[in-house]
């Protein structure tokens, strides 16, 4: 496969090695066709140039996720890429559409949780990291969109992880096609049964082998059917070639099937019931020294398997039968034989064998002697007689093992059929997805011959293949042919899609091998069936027949040292087969004695495993071949696969020690060859193995001809001119890629290396020149600095002497100044002291005179004040006496009127008491009636029960009598029929006839009496029912009367409360006209008469001039008036709903609708009402208003209104008995009249009398409807908040997927403008995000949404941005680059600028929510990552990121533009150690972030963000102000 390339000294190459498969090194010498290579391991080798492969020097150290992106697609490149990714815990890699899965041999739970499945749901194939979920999602999407069935083929050797990969695929398909919890709650869903079928089949079909603790010993194809909506509607499981020989033969250190060990570790009652014990005591299990698996509890596995059987649909009785059969097989294995009394006979060896024979017979529920005879004897049927033949002990043991194998095989087939019938298939399903988990194979090398073997034949000396391996290899040949055709088809489709000229590519076809094996007639299987039909055929004659038939076939050969073996050249190597047991294993028949014994079992389950065959079917199936049947199954499988779109997963086992972090190159390479991966690469190399997108091609090879990039932005034209410039031939230019032939990539790289070498020389010359010049400049600068230092020292000395001289002169001058100033200060102080004494004496004399004058004035003013006050008090006393006499006369007149009104109130109270007594009497009568009715009902029930029992007894007697009558009639009829037969007899028994006739008459009379009694019973029953119905009607009428009386009493109470309200108003009116303050105190009125500024009270004229609204209304309210007022109230509610349902805007920054609703509810006393419909109307209005959820402007308007109304309710409403609530003497009236009379207290006239002004927000004692309305309003606020937030997320989601990766730029643009994205402005995607944020912020501001809600919306949105960008960064390798980090960093800077402009009031802590992506991007843009220690990363650079996240970023990092390296291997090792220590914690192992969609605020947060004083200047709706009923809004 090596391409002939021009290699020079310094070229990097791969050379073949016997130990490590391939070694990388550097060419140090070229001698014609041979080259000398210095390998990185330290040794030097000389090889031919045709046997080496070029190495890509710019390949990422952590590999690529799709190996078709490799610059050199060859064996060492593929192997190195897998090894690099495996070292980084990246176990999945694509090769085009093929997924290669390397078994990590450790738990990686974070790769398979529900969050990871959600990430791959709907993602484009190849967009995220390679994963089985991506393959399953691609198949699921193709099935839905194209309506074509899909299939996923999982293959690999034993221990490579096929079973686990199959489980993951089925789990993801169940996740995508599963029903919701509501749909699947009533019964077990199909997807649950499909998933739980895995542990059941694993328990009975999997076993431990040398290289796998859970190896599948059968092939499995699961068909999952889907309906039109993509939901799982049915499933079917098909199995192939169970390894039956393992039941009886186990090699050390392997184990038998898991179910045997499970039942030995079952609960004590099950073990005792089946008479089991330790697994070491059974022959079928103790052939190996391995009884337990590390980390597996067999008792727990037994319970889990039983639970899985329940989910699958296997009943408890069937489970009992299954484990009964399994226990019987174990007991069969412990039956040993010895020679019998007769010649060549056998019998059980000892009492122990007898015990196990008896136990097996009990478990099979068959006869013990019959079981012994079926094991020790054979019955030969001839034409003339039946011959019984005894078997020797060895033959008896073989017969015993044959019985055990056929029973276990039938049990496994029954399990599969039961699972299929329980799950069920959908006949209407048009599409399905099939998952194929086919046999594992092993590769050995003995005498240069490869053997594919079952793991049970992995011991030394047992490397030759048997019949089972022959069938397995046939399967692999068939699937390899299917795989080659698919790969060839995909390669040609890509050429067609890219519209390039291509010719037919020849590939190795294994059709000749398939014809050699399965051709009919003349194939190996046909010859084997033919040999099995002849009783005298042996394996020697079969081998000679093969030698004669295929002696000239190129794929068939005869080993030199064997007379019965043969060798077939398969696509993966030569395999030698031993024919010793071919004939015996190919015969698929059941011993007749075994069939008869078990089909006659008393256990229905055991008998069902061996149904009786009809004579016709037994004659038609005299001979049945396993090989022929397996070939038919395989053909049916391939037909199914041919009508589906295939997807491939190749599982690879990195080492044979089943240990993590070990990668064996030769082992992996052999698996890649046997798995067909290398064949796919060979097919690709036959055409155009190197496929480079235009931008990558220009970036890599643009330096070969820089002139073709100047002034051109067309990458296609640039690629064409570049290839023409370098003179390359045979390439193709597609629509999106450049296609290169094998070897052309190496040629271009060689030329590129030359250009880079010349450029490096120029750079080195320039650098050396720069360093020399810098050294000269440094020396010159040093000399200049030395000279300056010397000159400075001389100048400093001269300056010091000059400074000392100036200091001496300054000291002398200051001393003389001090002495002169001291003499002057002494003289001045003496003069000031004399002046101060003279001025003080004059001031004291003036003060004494002023004090005497002030005392005289005070005495005069007090005397005049006393005389004036004495005169004023005399006048005031005379005036008050006159006023009291007049006001007393007026008050007595008003008191007489009030007493008359009180008498009328007493009459109403008496009527009320009388009605209450009537209600109590009726209530007592109702209770008495109820008790009587209950007694009648009980008596009726008892009577009905007696009548029913009597009726049943009569019916039974009638039925028995009728039967007796029918029997007598039948006997008479038979006797009559017999009479003609014995006509010759002349004697007739007339007595008997008369007796029978008499008995008939008695029976007829008894039947008629019974019928009469039945009719009477039915009449009594009907009368009783009528009586009970009449009493029930009477009780219902009494209930209705009680309800009417209660309603009337409630109305009277309302009237009484209205009268009390009127009396209260009359008292207030009387007090307003009464000027005496003492009377007001006696009547306990809280209002006080206002006092004028001059000290006088209000005069009588002021009270008479009050408006008419303060006068009392009529005492009695008619029904018509009440109805009219109730209708008016409904009209007011309708007017309010109609008004606020519109957009009526804002006032003083507050929503008018919310303020208007609150004022109306407060005025109508709705908060204090026990029952009202206004709250339901408001909630219904809000719900209908927010139906249009896509309009953010509309949502913001209602968010502002609902949150403001909720704030007002939170400040106003207090529950009953709440702390701080004012004490109330009686509940307020709930009637309309009562509320209107209470409203008079807040009328304009009474408001003039009240001292304090009412506030906008008042506290009221809320009833249940108001509290419920508050809860519903809170729910709507949270709902509208979530709608606005989710709308913003929907707008940002497509933009974020574009913002995570920097846009591609052409090489020419990069050369002209530089490669740093950080210096350029962010792309339009980031600007679109900023525009979305600004639009929503402006909308919320325009609608005056509360700042706390705005802050929470943007905080959660930025958290969503952080989660999406960070998760995408960890899932996409192309995003973890230096240039992409600069691009994302520039976008984050724009978001930071937006947060600063939006201010903290609205942005809040939004910027802090981006901490994960900020730290990750900050790590990506560091230049020298390899110098950073682990502590610096975790403590300084990325303290918020977990070890798993840091490890993921470090392993995914690559940089094709700047060639910067990731962190050092020591740091990676430290991270890996920490991850291994914490691997058992599934939560901490997850590296992806979860999105938080909760509601982050409470009602208290909303209340604290607003203030009551903000609503003092809010104006209500203008539309309502025009309505006279809403005039209270103007207050």
Kind plus residue range of the DSSP H or E element containing 1147: strand 1146-1147
Label residue 1046 by pLDDT band (50, 70, 90).
low
Report the share of the chain in percent with pLDDT over 90.
18
Residue 1062's pLDDT is: 57
- Per residue in 240-267, pLDDT (tens digit) is 888 888 899 888 889 999 999 999 999 9
Mean pLDDT across the chain, nearest whole number? 79
Please, what sign has the CA dihedral across residues 116, 121, 123, 125? positive
Cα(767)–Cα(763) distance, integer angstroms = 6
- Per residue in 1400-1458, pLDDT (tens digit) is 888 888 888 899 999 999 888 888 888 888 888 888 889 888 888 888 888 888 776 66
User: HSE on the CB side for 338, CA within 13 Å?
Assistant: 8
Above 90 in pLDDT, residue 775?
yes
Above 80 in pLDDT, residue 573?
no
Map residue 94 onto helix, strand or coil.
strand
Residue 1238's pLDDT is: 42
393 and 337 in contact (C-beta within 8 Å)? yes
Label residue 579 by pLDDT band (50, 70, 90).
confident
Using left for φ > 0, alpha for ψ between -120 and 50, and beta otherwise, residue 1432 falls in alpha
Out of 11, 215, 1147, 1166, pick the active-site residue: 215
465 and 575 in contact (C-beta within 8 Å)? yes
Catalytic residue list contains 159: yes
Residue 359 vs residue 747, higher pLDDT = 359
- Per residue in 1367-1396, pLDDT (tens digit) is 888 887 778 888 888 888 888 998 988 988
Above 60 in pLDDT, residue 1097?
no
Label residue 943 by pLDDT band (50, 70, 90).
confident
Cα(1485)–Cα(107) distance, integer angstroms = 10
* pTM of this structure: 0.63
Residue 1100's pLDDT is: 37
Residue 1216's pLDDT is: 46
Q: Give the least confident one: 318-332, 395-409, 801-815, 1419-1433.
A: 1419-1433
- Per residue in 1389-1416, pLDDT (tens digit) is 989 889 888 888 888 888 888 999 999 9
Main-chain phi, psi angles of 314, to 5 degrees:
-90, 125
416 and 201 in contact (C-beta within 8 Å)? yes
Q: Say which DSSP state 230 is in.
A: S
Residue 1260's pLDDT is: 84
Residue 444's pLDDT is: 43
What is the pLDDT averaged over residues 176-198?
67
Residue 784's pLDDT is: 93
Cα(1460)–Cα(818) distance, integer angstroms = 77
Residue 1460's pLDDT is: 72
Main-chain phi, psi angles of 1229, to 5 degrees:
-65, 140
Above 90 in pLDDT, residue 285?
yes
Residue 101 vs residue 521, higher pLDDT = 101
- Per residue in 846-875, pLDDT (tens digit) is 888 888 888 889 988 888 888 898 889 988
Out of 25, 63, 440, 675, pick the active-site residue: 440
- Per residue in 1132-1183, pLDDT (tens digit) is 888 888 888 888 888 878 888 888 888 888 888 888 888 888 888 888 888 8
Catalytic residue list contains 163: yes
Residue 1069's pLDDT is: 53
CA angle 654, 659, 662 (to 5 degrees): 50
Catalytic residue list contains 440: yes
- H-state helical runs in 1141-1263: 1152-1163, 1174-1185, 1192-1212, 1232-1239, 1244-1249
Q: Give the least confident one: 305-319, 379-393, 492-506, 807-821.
A: 492-506
Above 60 in pLDDT, residue 454?
no
322 and 300 in contact (C-beta within 8 Å)? no
What is the pLDDT averaged over residues 116-136?
89
Q: Give the least confident one: 120-134, 462-476, 728-742.
A: 462-476
Above 80 in pLDDT, residue 1021?
no
Label residue 1244 by pLDDT band (50, 70, 90).
very low
Out of 151, 163, 667, 684, pick the active-site residue: 163
What is the pLDDT averaged over residues 272-292?
91
Residue 251's pLDDT is: 86
739 and 732 in contact (C-beta within 8 Å)? yes
Residue 229's pLDDT is: 87
Out of 25, 77, 156, 159, pick the active-site residue: 159
Catalytic residue list contains 1234: no
508 and 683 in contact (C-beta within 8 Å)? no
Out of 212, 484, 510, 684, pick the active-site residue: 212
Catalytic residue list contains 158: yes
- Per residue in 1299-1315, pLDDT (tens digit) is 877 665 544 444 333 33
Out of 442, 715, 1351, 1409, pick the active-site residue: 442
What is the pLDDT averaged over residues 1109-1119?
42
**169 CB neighbour count, 10 Å cutoff:** 24
Q: How far is CA 874 from the centre of its chain?
A: 95
- Nearest Cα neighbor of 1339 from 1198, 1202, 1185, 1499 is 1198
Q: Give the least confident one: 96-105, 623-632, 714-723.
A: 623-632
Residue 1057's pLDDT is: 61
Above 60 in pLDDT, residue 1359?
yes
Out of 158, 690, 1147, 1156, pick the active-site residue: 158
């Amino acid at each position: 496969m090596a391409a002939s390339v021009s290699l020079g000294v310094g070229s990097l190459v791969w050379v073949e090695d016997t130990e490590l498969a391939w070694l990388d090194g550097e060419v140090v010498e070229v001698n014609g066709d041979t080259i000398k290579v210095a390998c990185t391991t330290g040794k030097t080798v000389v090889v031919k140039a045709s046997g080496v492969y070029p190495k890509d020097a710019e390949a990422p150290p952590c590999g690529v996720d799709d190996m078709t992106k490799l610059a050199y697609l060859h064996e060492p490149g593929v192997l190195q890429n897998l090894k690099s990714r495996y070292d980084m815990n990246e176990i999945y890699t694509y090769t085009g559409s093929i997924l290669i899965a390397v078994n990590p041999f450790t738990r990686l739970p974070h790769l398979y949780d529900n969050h990871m499945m959600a990430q791959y749901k709907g993602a484009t194939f190849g967009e995220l990291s390679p994963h089985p979920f991506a393959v399953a999602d691609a198949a699921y999407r193709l099935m839905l969109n194209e309506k074509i069935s899909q299939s996923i083929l999982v293959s690999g050797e034993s221990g490579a992880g096929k079973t686990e990969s199959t489980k993951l695929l089925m789990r993801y398909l169940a996740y995508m096609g599963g029903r919701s919890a509501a749909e699947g709650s009533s019964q077990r869903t199909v997807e649950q049964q499909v998933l739980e079928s895995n542990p059941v089949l694993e328990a009975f079909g999997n076993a431990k082998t040398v290289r796998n603790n859970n190896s599948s010993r059968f092939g499995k194809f699961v068909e999952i059917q889907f309906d039109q909506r993509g939901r799982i509607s049915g499933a079917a499981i098909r199995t192939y070639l169970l390894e039956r020989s393992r039941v009886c033969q186990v090699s050390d250190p392997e184990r038998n099937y898991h179910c045997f060990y499970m039942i030995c570790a079952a609960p004590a009652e099950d073990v005792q019931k089946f008479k089991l014990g330790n697994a070491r005591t059974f022959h079928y299990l103790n052939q190996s020294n391995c009884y337990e698996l590390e980390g597996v509890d067999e008792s727990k596995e037994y319970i889990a398997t039983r639970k899985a059987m329940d989910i699958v649909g296997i009943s408890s009785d069937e489970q009992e039968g299954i484990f009964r059969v399994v226990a019987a097989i174990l007991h069969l294995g412990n039956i040993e034989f010895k020679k019998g009394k007769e010649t060549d006979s056998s019998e059980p060896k000892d009492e122990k064998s007898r015990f196990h024979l008896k136990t097996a017979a009990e478990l099979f529920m068959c006869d013990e002697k019959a079981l012994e005879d079926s094991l020790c004897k054979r019955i030969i049927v001839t034409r003339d007689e039946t011959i019984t033949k005894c078997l020797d002990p060895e033959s008896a043991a073989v017969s015993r093992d044959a019985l055990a194998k056929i029973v276990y095989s039938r049990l496994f087939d029954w399990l599969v059929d039961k699972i299929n019938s329980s799950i069920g298939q959908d006949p209407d399903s048009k599409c399905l997805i099939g998952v194929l988990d086919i046999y594992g194979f092993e590769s050995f090398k003995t005498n240069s011959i490869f053997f594919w073997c079952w793991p049970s034949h992995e011991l030394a000396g047992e490397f030759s293949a048997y019949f089972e391996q022959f069938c397995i290899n046939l399967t692999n040949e068939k699937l390899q042919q299917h795989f080659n055709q698919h790969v060839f088809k995909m390669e040609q489709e890509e050429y067609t899609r890219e519209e390039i000229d291509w010719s037919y590519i020849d590939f190795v076809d294994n059709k000749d091998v398939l014809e050699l094996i399965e051709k009919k007639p003349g194939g190996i299987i046909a010859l084997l069936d033919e040999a099995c039909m002849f009783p005298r055929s042996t394996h020697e004659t079969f081998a000679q027949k093969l030698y004669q038939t295929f002696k000239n076939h190129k794929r068939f050969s005869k080993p030199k040292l064997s007379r019965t073996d043969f060798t077939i050249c398969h696509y993966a190597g030569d395999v030698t087969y031993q024919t010793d047991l071919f004939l015996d294993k190919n015969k698929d028949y059941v011993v007749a004695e075994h069939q008869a014994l078990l089909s006659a079992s008393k256990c229905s389950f055991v008998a069902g495993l061996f149904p009786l065959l009809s004579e016709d079917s037994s004659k038609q199936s005299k001979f049945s071949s396993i090989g022929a049947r397996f070939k038919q199954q395989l053909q049916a499988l391939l037909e199914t696969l041919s009508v589906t779109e295939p997807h491939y997963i190749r599982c690879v086992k990195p080492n044979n020690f089943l240990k993590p972090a070990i990668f064996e190159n030769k082992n992996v390479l052999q698996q890649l060859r046997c798995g067909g991966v290398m064949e796919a690469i060979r097919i690709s190399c036959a055409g155009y193995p190197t496929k480079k997108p235009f931008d990558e091609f220009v970036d890599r090879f643009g330096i070969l001809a820089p002139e073709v990039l100047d002034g051109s932005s067309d990458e296609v034209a640039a690629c064409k001119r570049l290839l023409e410039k370098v003179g390359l031939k045979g390439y193709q230019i597609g629509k999106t890629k450049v296609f290169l032939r094998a070897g052309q990539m190496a040629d271009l790289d060689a030329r590129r290396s030359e250009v880079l070498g010349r450029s490096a020389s120029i750079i080195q010359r320039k650098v050396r020149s720069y360093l020399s010049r810098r050294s000269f400049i440094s020396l010159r600068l040093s000399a200049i600095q030395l000279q300056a230092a010397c000159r400075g020292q001389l100048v400093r000395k001269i300056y010091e002497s000059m400074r000392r001289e100036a200091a001496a002169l300054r000291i002398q001058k200051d001393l003389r100044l001090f002495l002169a100033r001291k003499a002057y200060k002494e003289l001045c102080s003496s003069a000031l002291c004399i002046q101060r004494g003279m001025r003080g004496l004059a001031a004291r004399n003036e003060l004494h005179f002023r004090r005497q004058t002030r005392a005289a004035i005070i005495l005069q003013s007090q005397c005049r004040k006393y005389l004036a006050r004495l005169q004023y008090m005399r006048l005031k006393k005379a005036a008050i006496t006159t006023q009291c006499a007049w006001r007393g006369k007026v008050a007595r007149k008003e008191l007489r009127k009030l007493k008359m009104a009180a008498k009328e109130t007493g009459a109403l109270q008496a009527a009320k008491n009388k009605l209450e007594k009537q209600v109590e009497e009726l209530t007592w009568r109702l209770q008495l009636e109820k008790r009587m009715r209950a007694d009648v009902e009980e008596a009726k029930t008892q009577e009905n029960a007696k009548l029913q029992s009597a009726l049943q007894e009569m019916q039974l007697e009638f039925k028995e009598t009728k039967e007796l009558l029918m029997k007598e009639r039948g006997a008479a009829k038979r006797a009559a029929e017999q009479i003609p037969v014995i006509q010759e007899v002349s004697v007739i028994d007339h007595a008997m006839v008369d007796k029978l006739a008499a008995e008939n008459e008695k029976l007829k009379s008894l039947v008629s009496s019974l019928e009469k009694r039945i009719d009477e019973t039915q009449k009594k029953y009907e009368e009783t029912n009528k009586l009970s119905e009449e009493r029930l009607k009477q009780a219902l009428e009494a209930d209705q009367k009680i309800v009417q009386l209660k309603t009337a009493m409630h109305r009277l109470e309302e009237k009484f409360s209205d009268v009390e309200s009127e009396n209260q108003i009359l008292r207030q009116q009387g007090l307003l006209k009464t000027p005496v303050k003492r009377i007001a105190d006696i009547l306990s009125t809280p209002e006080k008469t206002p006092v004028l500024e001059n000290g006088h009270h209000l005069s009588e004229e002021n009270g008479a001039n009050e408006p008419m609204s303060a006068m009392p209304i009529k005492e009695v309210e008619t029904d018509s008036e009440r109805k009219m007022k109730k209708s008016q109230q409904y009209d007011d509610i309708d007017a309010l709903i109609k008004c606020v349902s519109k957009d009526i805007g804002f006032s003083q920054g507050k929503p008018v609708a919310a303020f208007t609703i609150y004022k109306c509810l407060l005025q109508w006393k709705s908060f204090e009402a026990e029952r009202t419909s206004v709250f339901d109307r408001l909630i219904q209005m809000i719900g209908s208003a927010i139906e249009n959820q896509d309009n953010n402007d509309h949502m913001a308007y209602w968010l502002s209104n609902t949150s403001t109304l909720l704030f007002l309710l939170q400040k106003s409403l207090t529950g009953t008995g709440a702390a701080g609530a004012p004490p109330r003497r009686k509940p307020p009236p709930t009637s309309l009249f009562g509320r209107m009379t209470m409203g008079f207290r807040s009328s304009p006239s009474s408001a003039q009398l009240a001292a304090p002004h009412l506030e906008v927000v008042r506290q009221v004692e809320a009833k249940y409807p108001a509290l419920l309305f508050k809860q519903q309003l809170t729910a709507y606020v949270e709902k509208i908040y979530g709608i606005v937030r989710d709308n913003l997320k929907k707008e940002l989601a497509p933009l974020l997927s574009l913002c995570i990766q920097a846009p591609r730029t052409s090489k020419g643009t990069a050369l002209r403008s530089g490669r740093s994205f950080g210096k350029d402005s962010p792309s339009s995607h980031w600007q679109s995000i900023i525009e979305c944020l600004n639009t929503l912020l402006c909308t919320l501001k325009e609608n005056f949404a509360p700042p706390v809600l705005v802050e929470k919306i943007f905080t959660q949105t930025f958290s969503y941005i952080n989660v999406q960008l960070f998760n995408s960064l960890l899932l996409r390798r192309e995003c973890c680059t230096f240039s992409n980090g600069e691009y994302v960093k520039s976008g984050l800077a724009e978001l930071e600028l937006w947060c600063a402009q939006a201010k903290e009031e609205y942005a809040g802590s939004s910027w802090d929510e981006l901490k994960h992506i900020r730290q990750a991007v900050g790590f990506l843009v560091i230049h020298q990552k390899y110098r950073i220690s682990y502590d610096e990363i975790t403590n300084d650079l990325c303290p918020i990121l977990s070890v798993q996240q840091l490890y993921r970023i470090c392993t995914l990092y690559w940089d094709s533009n700047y060639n910067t390296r990731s962190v050092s291997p020591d740091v990676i090792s430290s991270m890996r150690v920490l991850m291994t220590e914490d691997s058992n914690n599934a939560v901490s192992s997850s590296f992806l972030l979860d999105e938080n969609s909760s509601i982050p605020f409470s009602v208290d947060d909303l209340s604290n963000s607003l203030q009551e004083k903000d609503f003092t200047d809010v104006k209500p709706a203008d539309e309502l102000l025009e309505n006279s009923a809403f005039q209270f809004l103007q207050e």
